[in-house]
Amino acid sequence: MLNKIPRHLFAVLMLGMVSQIGQVLLLRELLMVFHGNELSIGIILSAWLLWVGVGSRLGAHLLERVDRPVFLLAFSALGVLFAFPATILCIRSLRSFFHVLPGAYLSLWEMAVSSFLLMAPVCFLLGTQFVFLSRLWRMEDKGEDTSGAGKTYVGEAAGSMMGGIFFTFILVHFLNSFQSAALVALTMLFTILMISHRGQLKKRKITALASLTLVTLGAGGFFFLERLDGWAHELLWRHFSPHHELVGIYPSKHGNIAVLQREDQFSFFQSGHLIFSTAGPETTIPGLEEQEAVTFAHFSMVQHKYPEQVLLIGGGLRGMLGEIAKHPVLRVDYLELDEVLTEAARPFVTPRTFEALEDPRISLIHTDARLFVKETKNKYDMIIVDAPDPATAVLNRHYTLEFFREARSRLNPGGVLVLGATSTPDLRGTAVANRNATLYHTLSSVFAHVYAAGERFLFYFASDDPHQISLDVATLRARYRERQIEAEGFSELHYHVLLQDQQLRRVNWILTNHGRTSDAHLKGPGAPPISPGPLKAQREWAQALPPVDSRYFINSDFKPIGYFYTLMFWDQLTRDRQRDTLKGLLHIQPWWLVPLMLIPLTLVLVLGHPSIRPGQRTGVSFAVLFTVFTTGLSTMTMQVALLFSFQSIYGFIYEMVGLIVALFMFGLALGAFFTQRHVADKTNLRTLALVQLLMALLACLMAFILPWAGAIPSAAVVLTLFSTLTFAAGLINGMDFPLATACSMAQTGKAEQSAGKIYGMELMGACVGAAAASAVVAPVLGIAACFYLAAAANGTAFLTLLISRSSHV
């Protein structure tokens, strides 16, 4: 039985495993440099796909000149062994190549340039291996068709599935990035060396040499890679924040946690994004960071007359918890997502922060806030969200329409929701005005009464009871005084500073009026009157204003425009010359898709005309290549949209990305295997067209189902649904490749050239789809628009195939 197993099968599986593990590793590393910005996910994936596609095309040409596939495989694997760890090291030092201020985000262009340059060596080498292994499989079968490429495609997909599972459950828990990269690359080289010689004596020598290499790596190499990982982390943070000292790196399933110190200030980052800063344990007087927490706590708590049951989301480790406990509360549930973050903070924060956790009224719960709010049966008088600005999709989940509805359902009658966001005096700047007006209008669509107060930090208070929340200084001072609170750095006089009448009127006038015209998101708010009316009068006038433009001023899970505006705002603060890059994307309109659909249909009609290259089926060749391109585009668009959706609902992308992609690859392998084994006439264009129609229908189904799925309270049900849809997308995509390669070979008569061309074209389409979906379509037009784009692309391919087929019947 073992003799029937192709000798290169393990090399094919290793190609899939290394490709999948490499993709996830580099994605995680780049996300850390890109501050966890999900806009970069599509850029990173598109860079990966582009270079793998280029590698497969050039690998086919190289094989025609050097017909030694095993030698080329070994050379390529050796290159991966050196290029993989080197790429990780270059990523960690990436910021040193750009002139950026400490803490500033890299622009979209810088993300794109760096991703495409850094991905090139590893991805190009992996792309060539697909063609080399396809030739080996065809030689093994002694065939002349593209079945070798189809089998390689199935084997690589199966290896990718195994790689995703292996990384998620083993590698990520026991090895660092350098160790993981070296281990899988060395194993790939070992499997290729095992098939390079048939002689038993040579095999024993090669096995002994490889075993000795592995032992040496395990004894000394892994220790060196451990030191290299620590040094590379120091290099990364030295360029990110040169005035801070890196004092600790703590791996977590939610993203690596870095602790940086400057004098007695400690800052905590997760996946490159600042979570909070706090004064150190030796500080006797609250510093600026803790002062902000003190102000937030006491300004929030007096917004309810009798706050007995409180839910605090984040913020406890920077000092919020102890201040809330000074109020007459009976129970405080404090939610912190990451247990590793809590333990990492313990040696670096003031003792009184953790002393608050000893209070019997306080319960620390490590869980996702969205999941907790959705599933808990508890009711609260106040829900306070002390989270960073919505600069990523995972942070934006605490500022969306869906979350506000979920929070409202967990409030007692007269309950209050409190949150905040960075601002500017009088909301100067289009981006910050757009973002903060979006939060205001989103809250107002859920709660009957919403007040905003602040200057450089804007507090939002929302309730259905107009007598509960208040911006009246006398009222808030009286509540604070009645509770007999003693707080360092805060007194009842602070409410006069926080609630200056004219400033309150201007801010609320801007928030109320901005976002009610079709071009408000591009122009920003108009200047407020010199002396806006009282807040009560403003609310009465607002009833006569035009409705809010929900497309650009309602933030939701499936249209996360709030975090797009936050990125615009951060670019304006730190990157003056790049400030118009993101703003330009707001001009994109859905109808732009129509001419893009008409172009291929027109081309296939022209190329199919008998006067164009008589006797050659030019129109058919174009239709097949376009179909493969759209398959890659639509599949990756749907995959990105599924990742964004899962991120929006449960926020586990960093932890689960390997497993989610493994499910897709499992479907891909099964679809390709089924088609390879059971479809007799693979050159039938009608069969290929039906696959396109099936994918278009699936995309439309996803667009309908996913917004509804977000309201499902059970995490297990949602995970099952996402897994099923991801598997289905992979299954249909897998059916496409064997059919397309067979149709292409029917035109060219060359097996490896057809395989390389089809594989490369599919990856080109996936490259375009990944970049368009994550950087443009999902944040600006919405996640559902990604599925409609995929449906339009496959629908166009369906029509293109039918037209080309009819013109040659």
- Catalytic annotation, residues: 386
Cross-strand pairs, 334: 312, 364
CA-CA distance, 94 to 792, in Å (whole number)? 38
Strands (E), 190-252: 245-250
Question: Coil, helix or strand for 429?
Answer: coil
CA-CA distance, 178 to 194, in Å (whole number)? 24
Contact 386, 399 (CB under 8 A): no
User: Residue 479 is encoded by which pair of tokens?
Assistant: 């509540």
User: Residue 771 is encoded by which pair of tokens?
Assistant: 């970049």
Contact 751, 146 (CB under 8 A): yes
* Cα distances (angstroms) measured from residue 113 to each of 80, 245, 636: 21, 29, 20
C-alpha 92: how far from chain center:
19
Contact 188, 714 (CB under 8 A): no
C-alpha 763: how far from chain center:
20
> Which helix H or strand E contains 292, and what residues bound it?
helix 288-301
| Helix/strand/coil percent split, the chain, to 5 | 65, 10, 25
Contact 34, 104 (CB under 8 A): no
CA angle, residues 466, 471, 473, in degrees to nearest 5: 130
C-alpha 771: how far from chain center:
12
CA-CA distance, 369 to 398, in Å (whole number)? 8
Contact 763, 64 (CB under 8 A): no
Backbone angles phi, psi at 246, to 5 degrees: -75, 120
Which of 490, 100, 173, 193 is CA-nearest to residue 324?
490
Contact 313, 374 (CB under 8 A): no
Please spell the DSSP secondary structure of 375-396, one letter per residue: H----EEEEEE----S-SHHHH
Which of 541, 580, 276, 299 is CA-nearest to residue 416?
299
User: Residue 59 is encoded by which pair of tokens?
Assistant: 């690998």
Q: Would you give the DSSP letter of residue 528?
A: P
Cross-strand pairs, 92: none
Which string of b and e fits 524-546 if b means at least 16 CB within 10 Å? bbeebeeebeebeebbeeeeeee
* Cα distances (angstroms) measured from residue 449 to each of 143, 302, 452, 694: 73, 16, 10, 47
Q: Give the type of residue at 535.
A: L
CA-CA distance, 312 to 317, in Å (whole number)? 11
> Which helix H or strand E contains 707, and what residues bound it?
helix 685-709
Q: Give the type of residue at 667.
A: G
Q: Tokens 């869980």 identify what position?
A: 367
Please spell the DSSP secondary structure of 713-775, one letter per residue: --HHHHHHHHHHHHHHHHHHHHHHHHHHHHHHHHHH--HHHHHHHHHHHHHHHHHHHHHHIII
Backbone angles phi, psi at 95, to 5 degrees: -65, -20
Contact 655, 253 (CB under 8 A): yes
Contact 583, 568 (CB under 8 A): yes
User: Residue 414 is encoded by which pair of tokens?
Assistant: 């007269």
Would you say the C-alpha torsion 502, 507, 511, 517 has a positive or negative sign? Answer: positive
Please spell the DSSP secondary structure of 104-122, one letter per residue: PPPPHHHHHHHHHHHHHHH
